[in-house]
């Protein structure tokens, strides 16, 4: 029992910011589960999927793009490991993550432009609407995560993070890993089945 008037410094079990991101990621998981559910039910009700007059999705290119995003999951993990150790190569790992994320978005964007050109739009069919809703929602998340990575990279470059304090990197790491983990599920569901 402590004596009255003596303040005891207590450290939180988990940094508040990290806990907030974890709760946010949990809610995002439910959001994607709802989108996936809508997609699965609508596809099951369709007579032909994809409709015969709609273009087929680029399975191979998106497969390569999936590998790129999975690789970015490794680089963000490298960033967290490096900041835990000393923080010497943090900016390099984060820059690599940002480049891979940007490459993923660029390839997705290029494929979408081609698909729109072939006639697959949000209003062309239920197939197009669900495709852009599901894959588009993920793309927006990757874009948001990319902005976060860039902000953390700049802060890391300025020496804000070290082995003792790196909550920002841990938050960024958790969110990026979620975005990476969701994509293979969407790829298998939308492109492969």
Partner 1 sequence: MTRRAARPRWPQRLVGCAVLAAALLPARVGRACSSCLSGADGTREAYYGTTLLLIVVPFAALGVLVFWLRRAAQRAERARRASTDPGVPRARPGHDPAFHAG
CA–chain centroid gap for 155, Å, is: 20
d(CA 39, CA 37): 5
d(CA 90, CA 25): 23
Q: Which two tokens stand for residue 37?
A: 């559910």
C-beta closer to partner 1: residue 34 or 140: 34
With CB under 8 A as the contact rule, the residue among 6, 7, 11, 123 that binds partner 1 is 11
Span 94-153, contacts to partner 1 by CB under 8 A = none
36 forms part of the interface with partner 1 (CB under 8 A):
yes
Q: Which two tokens stand for residue 138?
A: 């993920």
174 forms part of the interface with partner 1 (CB under 8 A):
yes
89 forms part of the interface with partner 1 (CB under 8 A):
no
C-beta closer to partner 1: residue 138 or 166: 166
SS3 52: coil
Cα dihedral 125→127→132→134 (10° resolution): 140
With CB under 8 A as the contact rule, the residue among 90, 170, 180, 182 that binds partner 1 is 170
- How many angstroms separate the Cα of 66 from the Cα of each of 63, 98, 105, 180, 190? 5, 15, 11, 9, 13
Question: For residue 50, is the peptide bond before it cis, meaning its omega torsion is within 30 degrees of 0?
Answer: yes
14 forms part of the interface with partner 1 (CB under 8 A):
yes
In this structure, the chain runs to a length of 193
88 forms part of the interface with partner 1 (CB under 8 A):
no
C-beta closer to partner 1: residue 64 or 86: 86
Number of residues lying near partner 1 (CB under 8 A): 34
- Nearest approach in angstroms of CB 163 to partner 1 is 3
With CB under 8 A as the contact rule, the residue among 17, 20, 41, 59 that binds partner 1 is 41
Enumerate binding residues for partner 1 (CB under 8 A).
Answer: 11-15, 18-19, 22-23, 26-27, 29-30, 33-34, 36-38, 40-41, 43-45, 84-86, 162-164, 166-167, 170, 173-174
């Amino acid at each position: 029992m402590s004596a009255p008037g003596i303040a005891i410094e207590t450290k939180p079990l988990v940094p508040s910011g990290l806990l907030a991101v974890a709760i946010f990621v949990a809610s995002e998981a439910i959001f994607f589960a709802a989108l996936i559910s809508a997609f699965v039910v609508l596809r099951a009700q369709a007579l032909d999927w994809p409709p015969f007059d709609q273009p087929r999705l680029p399975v191979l290119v998106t497969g390569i793009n999936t590998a790129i995003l999975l690789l970015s999951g490794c680089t963000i993990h490298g960033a967290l490991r490096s900041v835990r150790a000393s923080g010497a190569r943090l900016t390099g790992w984060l820059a690599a993550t940002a480049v891979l994320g940007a490459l993923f978005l660029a390839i997705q964007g290029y494929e979408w432009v081609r698909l729109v050109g072939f006639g697959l739009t949000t209003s062309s069919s239920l197939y197009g609407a669900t495709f852009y809703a599901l894959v588009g929602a993920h793309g927006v998340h990757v874009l948001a995560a990319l902005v976060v990575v860039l902000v953390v990279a700049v802060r890391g470059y300025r020496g804000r993070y070290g082995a003792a304090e790196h909550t920002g990197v841990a938050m960024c790491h958790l969110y990026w890993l979620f975005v990476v983990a969701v994509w293979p599920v969407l790829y298998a569901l939308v492109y492969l089945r």
